[in-house]
Amino acid sequence: MRDIKITAASTSIPSQTISNQQLSEIMDTSDEWITKRTGIKSRHISNKENTSDLASNVANKLLKQVNWQAEKLDLIIVATMSPDNMTPSTAAMVQGNVGAVNALAFDISAACSGFSYGLSIAHDLMLANNYQKAMVIGAEVLSKLIDWKDRSTAVLFGDGAGGVILESSNENHFLGKDLKTFGQLGDNLIAGHTSIAEDFRKNDHHLSAFQMDGREVYKFATKSVPNSIISATKCVKIALDQIDHYLLHQANSRIIDQVARKLKQPIDKFPININEYGNTAAASEAILLAECIEKEVIKKGDVIALSGFGGGLTIATIIYKF
Ligand code: ACO
């Protein structure tokens, strides 16, 4: 075995869609503001399925695509910032739900960079342990973490899941990567803060909703994403022009436009689906990747840059050849 290959990709999207117009009926916002500032037109909001349900659905769809039994899986990684529980992990729940009795399963928390972090960790673990088959899933029900009275964050996020199967390969596919964490900037984006009760007898625990300094995250993204893509390509001596598709975390279409401009790459190399899903954090890159494969936007031999950024603050770029 020389490397690891993506052999299947799939998604699970809650059926309920909420348009900007619908949001404007419950908070002081408008379709015009949301569309102009973010590119988002609607988002999917779960009303029944929790994160492990969406992730398990992706896992079952992936297994159907590859047509082998769950027992063959060696590893399941779920990237999420909105797990069902602190424990068990969402990955352990997926493992149990699909019957992947031989798989090591754990979650990783890297917010919107989670899917790229997960791919990198799975790749390295597979090579180190001679694992043959793995699954990496990004899954979120962010609506659980939204304060529906805070228009500055409520309009941005959506629910969904996507994932891939990884298998051993004799050809090189993972060409380069750049993963970084900026913990000193972490306060710019917090969700699910757990408070400590002043008096433990009062049983006064709760999880906090999203709090974000949008402008700071915007500045971070428009600077760090181009730098990360340049670092990942430089270390493997690939020119930016040789990248066929740039699959960026879907947080804001203006961020994507700016990154394209900074990298001097045509905008049609940057597929976009934020209009339909909003920001789905760790699921965002996975959903976009699965859609690009399904619609044959990505073809055999194409080189892609997958680049995620978000809470932590974190950044992760993977250069992958199909
Ligand atoms: N509807 C109408 N008006 C609004 C809304 C809304 N939903 N939200 C804010 N406003 C108002 C503000 O109150 C403000 O009004 P004021 O000028 O009277 O004070 C005005 O609009 C401008 O607000 P800003 O916050 O300055 O707007 P900005 O242009 O910065 O856009 C946004 C905000 C969309 C959040 C942008 O900053 C952004 O995309 N930041 C990046 C976020 C991001 O990428 N997050 C990714 C990480 S997510 C993760 O890791 C989970």
pLDDT band at 207, cuts 50/70/90? confident
> How many Å from the N-terminal Cα to the C-terminal Cα in the chain?
17
Range 288-298 average pLDDT: 98
pLDDT band at 268, cuts 50/70/90? very high
Cβ of 283 less than 6 Å from ligand 1: no
Cβ of 13 less than 6 Å from ligand 1: no
pLDDT band at 203, cuts 50/70/90? confident
State both tokens at 270. Answer: 């940057």
Q: What percent of the chain has pLDDT over 70?
A: 100
- Report CA torsion sign: 20, 285, 245, 165: negative
In terms of C-beta distances under 8 Å and separation of at least 24 residues, what long-range contacts does 17-23 make, across chains too?
A: 17/42, 17/43, 17/44, 17/45, 18/42, 18/43, 18/44, 18/45, 20/155, 23/154, 23/155
Cβ of 189 less than 6 Å from ligand 1: yes
Cα-based torsion angle of the residue sequence 179, 185, 186, 188 in order, rounded to the nearest 10 degrees: -120
Contact 75, 82 (CB under 8 A): no
Residue 4 has pLDDT above 60, yes or no: yes
Hunting for tokens 């900026």 — which residue is that? 182
The pTM of the full predicted model, rounded to 2 decimals, is 0.96
Protein residue with its CA nearest to atom 36 in ligand 1: 214
User: Rounded to 5 degrees, what are φ and ψ at 77?
Assistant: -120, 130
Between the CA of 213 and the centroid of ligand 1 the distance, in Å, is 8
Between the CA of 37 and the centroid of ligand 1 the distance, in Å, is 7
Range 181-197 average pLDDT: 93
Which pLDDT value is given to residue 195?
A: 83
Contact 145, 209 (CB under 8 A): yes
Q: Tell which atom from ligand 1 comes closest to the C-alpha of 251.
A: 44
Cβ of 94 less than 6 Å from ligand 1: no
Residue 293: alpha-carbon gap to chain centroid:
16
Which pLDDT value is given to residue 197?
A: 79
CA distances, 57 to each of 170, 180, 270, 288 (Å): 30, 30, 28, 17
CA distances, 124 to each of 118, 121, 130, 168, 303 (Å): 10, 5, 10, 12, 20
The pLDDT tens digits for 29-72 are: 999 999 999 999 999 999 999 999 999 999 999 999 999 999 99
Candidates 38, 210, 215: which one to mutate for ligand 1, based on the most atoms within 8 Å of Cβ? Answer: 215
Per the DSSP assignment, residues forming a β-bridge with 179 are 316
Protein residue with its CA nearest to atom 30 in ligand 1: 215
Which pLDDT value is given to residue 171?
A: 93
Question: What gap in Å lies between CA 70 and CA 91, rounded to an integer?
Answer: 14
pLDDT band at 206, cuts 50/70/90? confident
Between the CA of 102 and the centroid of ligand 1 the distance, in Å, is 45
Cβ of 145 less than 6 Å from ligand 1: no
Which pLDDT value is given to residue 198?
A: 79
The pLDDT tens digits for 162-181 are: 999 999 999 999 999 999 99
Between the CA of 13 and the centroid of ligand 1 the distance, in Å, is 25
Which pLDDT value is given to residue 229?
A: 98
Cβ of 122 less than 6 Å from ligand 1: no
Question: What gap in Å lies between CA 184 and CA 46, rounded to an integer?
Answer: 33
Which pLDDT value is given to residue 94?
A: 98
Protein residue with its CA nearest to atom 14 in ligand 1: 152
What value does the mean pLDDT of the chain take? Answer: 96
Any idea which residues carry the catalytic annotation? Answer: 112, 249, 279
Residue 1 has pLDDT above 70, yes or no: no
Per residue in 266-279, is it b (16+ CB within 10 Å) or e — as a string? eeebbbeebebbbb
Angle at 193 between CA 206 and CA 117, to 5 degrees: 135
